[in-house]
Amino acid sequence: MDERTGELLTAARLAQRAGWCADLVSGMTTALLHEHWNGADVEMLASGVDACGRKLPSNAWMALRRLGWTVNAPEGVRVNDRIVRMAQEQAGRVLRAASWRADLTAAVVATWPGDPRRRTPQEWDAVRQAAPGGRPLPSNVITARTRQIATFLKARGRLPADVFELEGVPRAARMLLLSACDRQQAGIERSESDPRRAVLRLQLPVRPDPRTYRDWTWVACPITLPPTVPAGAVLHLPTLRITEHITDRITDGKVRADLAYTHAVPATRRSGHTVALGVDWGLNTLLSAPPPACPTTAASPPSGTAPSSEPPESWPSNTACAACPNTCTPKPATTSDSSTASAQSATRHQSVIRHQSVIRRWRVNTCRRANTLWRVNTSGCGTRFSTCRHADPISTTRWRALPRGGPSIRPSPPARASSTWKTCDRWKPAAWAPP
């Protein structure tokens, strides 16, 4: 609602006015990026100190002002200082992020391999040593940067001087970083009657080129908070992202708010926790999970006994071994070698823990491999995160898809044995077994 006129704004009208403000911000951001998209300025900003040796503020817009990097609105357009802050904040974040890419590009160019498509082990060691934090850096990050530089080399016949020549000036996104503003530009309050709702107040222009401050009015935007936001959380100013779609000469747009909040959490207890297995997808692995330690009351299986390859019907109790629920039986920890047996059990079945703990009641879908990404579609299951085992790494890939409710991504079959399963040292055409 426009607080000056009392007019109820439609979603399309709100997106239009927010889009005018975002266009002003992105225009000034682009001007800043064109002026400071070079190695010297990015290195100065990344160093964290100014010319006098003083530490730069953590806020990007304050750091840019300390360095004297200012920008003005287009001629004839009147904006307040908070609009300039948002432009400086966005430009500062982009320039700070370019520092790491500049160091990585310089490392790849300095250790350019003889064959960009396949590095030798010595060339991998050289590029990892030259890159910042290169040892734990995923290989696909270096490979993607190498591929980008190889494309530049093929087009121009030489290597790029730095990342600024390789990538060019980035485009500024159409968004409003309200976190760089104060109450003179925007404010947010939770509704007193309904804790699930909040009201965002901000100043928006009434025309694409505001000439005076009277062309800016306060607009109140109701926001429905998701259930994941606690009722007692402190709300912070969001980032507004404006999207517009033009169909049949009609402009339809939406404004989406990336809302940040802060809430208190209880202190962590040392005991009384429920043991769980955390599984996540990685950069160069489809599935990553830490090997949990077996409970101290669990006994190691008899020598030469392999755990069952079928998923368990129910999760094991707290006194059973998660690696081999069908063969390990709990026993009281009365012997002196109980901790040694537990450690041996955890060591023997690290790989089994990674497989059997996460494939409980998963559906198996077989699909042919191609050079493109796969979507695993089954009735009642949909597209879900999956891990794979190769019956034949060249032709067939079996995908195990999570039940409904799991995270949705587009998995890609690996071209080699994923490092997640390297503890097995080989691929099993049948069920997984301990090494």
At 334 the pLDDT is 44
CA 396/CA 367 separation, integer angstroms? 7
Compute the mean pLDDT over every residue in the chain, rounded to the nearest whole number: 74
At 409 the pLDDT is 35
**185 CB-near residues (< 8 Å, 6+ apart):** 80, 82, 83, 178, 202, 203
Top-confidence range, 209-213, 253-257, 408-412: 209-213
* Better-predicted residue by pLDDT, 338 or 189: 189
pLDDT band at residue 293 under the 50/70/90 scheme: low
pLDDT band at residue 284 under the 50/70/90 scheme: low
At 244 the pLDDT is 75
Domain boundaries, the chain: 11-167, 182-262
Instruction: Give 212-271 pLDDT, tens digit per residue.
Output: 999 999 999 999 999 989 988 999 999 999 987 665 555 568 899 999 999 988 887 777
Q: For residue 386, is pLDDT > 70?
A: no
Instruction: Give 74-96 pLDDT, tens digit per residue.
Output: 999 999 999 999 999 999 999 99
pLDDT band at residue 70 under the 50/70/90 scheme: very high
Q: Kindly write down the DSSP assignment for every residue of 51-116, as one continuous string.
A: TTSPBPPSSHHHHHHHTT----PPTT----HHHHHHHHHHHHHHHHHHHHHHHHHHHHHHT--SST
* Better-predicted residue by pLDDT, 15 or 357: 15
Sign of CA dihedral 407, 410, 413, 414: negative
Which region among 95-109, 118-132, 206-220, 281-295 has the lowest average model confidence (pLDDT)? 281-295
CA 77/CA 86 separation, integer angstroms? 16
Q: For residue 398, is pLDDT > 90?
A: no
